[in-house]
Amino acid sequence: MLDPRKKTVVGIGELLWDCFGELRRPGGAPANVAFHVSQLGLNGMICSRVGSDTLGDALLQHLRGQGLEIQYIQRDTEHPTGTVTVETTRVDQPSYRIHENVAWDHLEFDGRLSDLLENASAICFGTLAQRSPQSRSTVLRALDATRSALRVYDVNLRPPYYTQQTIEASLQLADVVKLNSGEVALVASMLGLDPDDAQGLSDTLRMSYGVELVCITRGQHGCLTISEEEQVDVPGRQVNVVDTVGAGDSFTAALVYGLLNGWPLERIVHVANEIGALVASRTGAMPVLREEFAALLSTR
């Protein structure tokens, strides 16, 4: 059950298994955000859909075992649980083969989801979960139902599952936008801007789309965060990178945590950078790091 003493953050979209050869680990960007928000001490709620199959059973059992609520994860009798084949030959730049027509492509907007969204403090969404008309409709209805919540758009481009129309519509609905450096170049080119000018893109997102905060993650080179009032540029942190899957999502989780707690932007970005580096030093998108997160927060 929701803890009424804590703010609720909804991650809506894909929930799946990341498959590394014979190994599989839970993943999906919005699900990862909800998981890490939960580890940071808020109500992290995953809104997604899995199949009525053994992979779906295993996924829900794993999440329940980590203390996450699963009542907003739908079951699908016709489509399988989502899977992604991850290639990590380059640990700093994994590649993904995302299997199609799976359960989360058919996410529905229902009464239970509507009730949850009424009291949500933040909602995190991305581009990938909008690849099908059904899931796109649900994501857009969810955003419409949370107009008083902080709306965080993780651009998270996975070729070929995006269009300029989807990206621009999402930008129009977002308060906060997070991109990595590669996505900066792609989105800037789409909008007719200089792909090497992160500042120019950020200015356009704020002035033309109404985005309040733009966050650009740069892997080992840190991150750049720009609002109307200030700019925070944090250098990279040297860590032993095991894999980067989910590191950006943990950055987003920490960003949301700090914003909801009213922290100064400088503090938020430094903590988010540390959280992302910590997750990159572990395997999988959802490593258990509650104690490490708590220790980090206590020193910041």
| Predicted local distance difference test score (pLDDT) of residue 91 | 58
- Core vs surface per residue 107-144: b (16+ CB within 10 A) or e: bebeeebeebbeebbbbbbbbbbbbbeebbebbbebbe
- Measured CA to CA, the distance from residue 69 to residue 189 in angstroms comes to 40
**Confidence band (pLDDT; 50, 70, 90) for 83?**
very high
* pLDDT top residue among 90 and 274: 274
Geometric angle at alpha carbon 222, from 83 and 188, rounded to 5°: 70
- Residue range 208-235: mean pLDDT, rounded: 92
C-alpha distances in Å from residue 186, one per residue of 151, 156, 157, 265 = 22, 11, 9, 26
What one-character DSSP code corresponds to residue 18?
A: E
Rounded to the nearest integer, the mean pLDDT of the chain is: 92
Tell me which CATH homologous superfamily contains domain 8-290: Ribokinase (3.40.1190.20)
Which residue carries 């909801």 as its tokens? 260
The string of pLDDT tens digits covering residues 140-162 is 999 999 878 999 999 999 999 99
pLDDT reading at 87 higher than 80:
no
**Confidence band (pLDDT; 50, 70, 90) for 232?**
very high
The string of pLDDT tens digits covering residues 19-59 is 888 889 999 999 999 999 999 999 999 999 999 999 999 99
What one-character DSSP code corresponds to residue 40?
A: T
CA 276 to chain centroid, in Å, comes to 12
